[in-house]
């Protein structure tokens, strides 16, 4: 299938584009900057102003709409609302049969600020007249790390033990999107989250250990409506299936096991110096294990 991805250079887009390429799809990536690459067709455009949108949607079988927020100088809703309108209008004119919009778990319950824009964008998608699917995701591992990096800038990290998280890996969200595209328009809302719900204290302590940092933790109650919604559990889901990569596994990934290809590539050839007679017992071996020194013969 020929797939258009908006927000292709964002946190999720950087996982989605290669995932679709690996599964044999033709990927057209929409971006404000050019990115060389043989496996991806990069097209220039600015979704906030509707520039390049009509050309980008032409001839595609599905659209993965990931673009969100706006760059400096634009209104905060210029992509989530105005950009979504541009995209839907162009997709309707081009006869694109399916658009998948990625939103946030809890957008329908904590509809204030940014989430209010996401919920309104969902409405635009539902009422667009084209085939659609909405995927609401929980917080990405990477976004949670950004939050913790900001908090770690202080000598003591504020800790609200009442805050639950359900972080999910972007690669698993990308895999879910591949399945949704293959299934066709659902005309429904699907939720997808990480494999576990963990408290803020475990999130912080595990991250500090992984990053070899030491900070004091200052117990407190986070103020504001955003944290009230998080505390109420509006941004976690019991929908299935769930992702498999936990927060700890994200921070402490298992080393990859050597493959058969690795063994073949690292086996010296018959003409390699590593397989030749040892004329100089003190010489280094090259072509097999560079830097290895043969033991001195007795």
- Beta strand 198-199 with 164-165 is antiparallel
What length is written for the chain? 298
CB atoms within 10 A of CB 70: 18
- Beta strand 132-137 with 156-159 is unpaired
**Residues 6 or more apart in contact with residue 254 via CB below 8 angstroms:** none
Rounded Cα gap, residues 79 and 83, in angstroms: 4
Beta strand ranges found along the chain (DSSP E): 2-6, 26-31, 40-44, 62-65, 99-104, 132-137, 156-159, 164-165, 189-192, 198-199, 216-219
Closest by CA to 97, choosing from 61, 125, 129, 68, is 61
Instruction: Determine the pLDDT at residue 250.
Output: 97
HSE-CB at 98 with a 13 A cutoff on CA atoms is 20
Rounded Cα gap, residues 190 and 239, in angstroms: 8
Phi and psi (nearest 5°) for 116?
-65, -40
Write down the CATH number for the domain with range 2-143+167-194+233-241. 3.40.50.720
CA–chain centroid gap for 147, Å, is 16
pLDDT in single tens digits along all 298 residues of the chain: 999 999 999 999 999 999 999 999 999 999 887 777 779 999 999 998 999 999 999 999 999 999 987 555 556 567 899 999 999 999 999 999 999 999 999 999 987 778 999 999 999 999 999 999 999 999 999 999 999 999 999 999 999 999 999 999 999 999 999 999 999 998 999 999 999 999 999 999 999 999 999 999 999 999 999 999 999 999 999 999 999 999 999 999 988 776 555 444 444 444 444 444 443 333 332 233 333 233 334 3
Phi and psi (nearest 5°) for 84?
-65, -40
CB atoms within 10 A of CB 151: 16
CA–chain centroid gap for 284, Å, is 45
Helices (H) and strands (E) in the chain, counts: 10, 11
């Amino acid at each position: 299938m020929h797939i258009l991805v908006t927000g292709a250079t964002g946190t999720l887009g950087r996982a989605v584009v290669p995932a679709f390429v690996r599964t044999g799809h033709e990927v057209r990536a929409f971006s404000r900057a050019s990115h060389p690459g043989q496996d991806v067709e990069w097209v220039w455009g600015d979704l906030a102003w509707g520039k390049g949108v009509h050309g980008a949607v032409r001839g595609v079988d599905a659209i993965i709409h990931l673009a969100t927020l706006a760059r400096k100088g634009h209104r905060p809703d210029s992509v989530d609302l105005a950009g979504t309108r541009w995209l839907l209008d162009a997709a309707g004119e081009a006869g694109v049969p399916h658009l998948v919009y990625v939103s946030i778990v809890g957008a329908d319950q904590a509809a204030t600020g940014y989430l209010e824009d996401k919920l309104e964008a969902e409405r635009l998608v539902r009422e667009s007249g084209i085939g659609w699917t909405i995927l609401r995701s929980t917080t990405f591992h990477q976004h949670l790390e950004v939050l913790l990096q900001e908090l770690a800038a202080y000598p003591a990290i504020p800790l609200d033990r009442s805050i639950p998280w359900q972080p999910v890996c972007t690669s698993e969200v990308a895999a879910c999107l591949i399945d949704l595209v293959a299934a066709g328009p659902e005309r429904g809302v699907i939720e997808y989250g990480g494999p576990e719900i963990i408290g803020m204290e475990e999130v912080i302590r595990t991250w500090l250990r992984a990053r070899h940092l030491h900070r004091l933790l200052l117990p407190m109650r986070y103020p504001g409506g955003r944290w009230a919604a998080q505390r109420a559990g509006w941004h976690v889901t019991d929908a299935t299936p769930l992702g498999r990569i936990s927060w700890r596994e994200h921070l402490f990934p298992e080393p990859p096991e050597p493959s058969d290809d690795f063994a073949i590539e690292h086996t010296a050839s018959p003409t390699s110096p590593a397989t030749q007679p040892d004329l100089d017992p003190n010489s280094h071996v090259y072509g097999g294990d560079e830097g290895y020194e043969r033991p001195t013969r007795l």
